[in-house]
């Protein structure tokens, strides 16, 4: 029998946080995991052996980085499964292909052959009935200027050295991607509605909305 908390959020739930670089996914992941006493799954940035190289030469390293991220996210997926859920995940696996790989392919910084190989691998690993999708994808959104401010204030050098046009292209692609995404239930949060940096901000209203979304979608799946 699956237990739910006071907001109706099952303790085996898997919630993934999506959104463009710097929008606030890691911060939201920590806030929700603390409030729910859930485990976290973060993407590897600090010890990523390709990320710096990728930002200095997209053409040379985009395929390597995608394969690296895919392997890492799949390992995380296995860990989440082995624990039986109860996780907040920083970035969904769907963004790797729907945003990053596609953008580099479209822009010519990933060859058609490499993109085809990557897509094949992704589709045969992820887009199958054997791959459990999250209970909810929380999409963080805000204005481009606010996102850029956050990205600058976080201060990762390689991101700051990357032209603004790259972040604008990604921002626009995200808007388009989320409007067409239907692989799992989606809940949108505007970053201006919740100031998680303010210690007096409560995540209760977010938890309430999450509970409602998950209850509705699980009822729908059972019916």
Q: In angstroms, what is the minimal distance from the CB of 52 to ligand ADP?
A: 16
- Regarding 197 and contact with ligand ADP (CB under 6 A), the answer is yes
* C-alpha–C-alpha distance, residues 69 and 104, integer Å: 15
Q: In angstroms, what is the minimal distance from the CB of 171 to ligand LDVFA3IR?
A: 12
* C-alpha–C-alpha distance, residues 70 and 80, integer Å: 15
The residue from 52, 106, 195, 204 that contacts ligand ADP (CB under 6 A) is 195
What does the block give as tokens for 40? 């976290």
List contacts with ligand LDVFA3IR (CB under 6 A).
21-22, 25-26, 43, 45, 51, 65-66, 69, 91, 96, 100, 159
Q: Residue 196: name its binding partner from ligand ADP, ligand LDVFA3IR, none (Cβ under 5 to 8 Å by kind).
A: ligand ADP
**CA-to-CA dists, residue 97 to 119, 133, 143, 179, 212, angstroms:** 7, 15, 23, 16, 29
- Regarding 182 and contact with ligand ADP (CB under 6 A), the answer is no
Q: Which stretch binds ligand ADP (CB under 6 A): 21-29, 77-85, 206-214, 215-223?
A: 21-29
Secondary structure (3-state) at 93: helix
Nearest by Cα to 52 from 171, 170, 161 = 161
Q: Which stretch binds ligand ADP (CB under 6 A): 53-61, 70-78, 175-183, 188-196?
A: 188-196
* C-alpha–C-alpha distance, residues 50 and 59, integer Å: 12
């Amino acid at each position: 029998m699956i237990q739910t908390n006071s907001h109706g959020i099952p303790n085996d739930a898997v919630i993934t946080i999506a959104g463009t670089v710097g929008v606030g996914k890691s911060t939201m992941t920590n806030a929700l995991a603390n409030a729910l006493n859930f485990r976290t799954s973060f993407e590897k940035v600090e010890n990523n052996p390709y990320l710096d190289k990728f930002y200095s030469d997209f053409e040379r390293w985009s395929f390597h980085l995608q394969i690296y991220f895919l392997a890492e996210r799949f390992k995380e997926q296995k860990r989440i499964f082995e624990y039986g859920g109860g996780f907040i995940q920083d970035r969904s696996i769907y963004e790797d292909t729907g945003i990053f790989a596609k953008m580099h392919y479209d822009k010519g910084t990933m060859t058609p052959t490499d993109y085809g190989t990557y897509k094949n691998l992704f589709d045969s690993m992820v887009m199958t009935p054997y791959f459990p999708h999250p209970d909810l994808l929380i999409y963080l959104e805000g204005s481009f200027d606010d996102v850029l401010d956050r990205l600058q204030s976080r201060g990762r050098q390689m991101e700051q050295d990357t032209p603004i046009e790259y972040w604008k292209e990604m921002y626009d692609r995200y808007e388009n991607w989320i409007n067409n995404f239907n692989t799992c239930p989606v809940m949108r949060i505007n970053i201006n509605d919740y100031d998680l940096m303010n210690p007096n901000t409560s995540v209760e209203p977010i938890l309430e909305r999450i509970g409602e979304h998950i209850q509705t979608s699980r009822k729908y799946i059972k019916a």
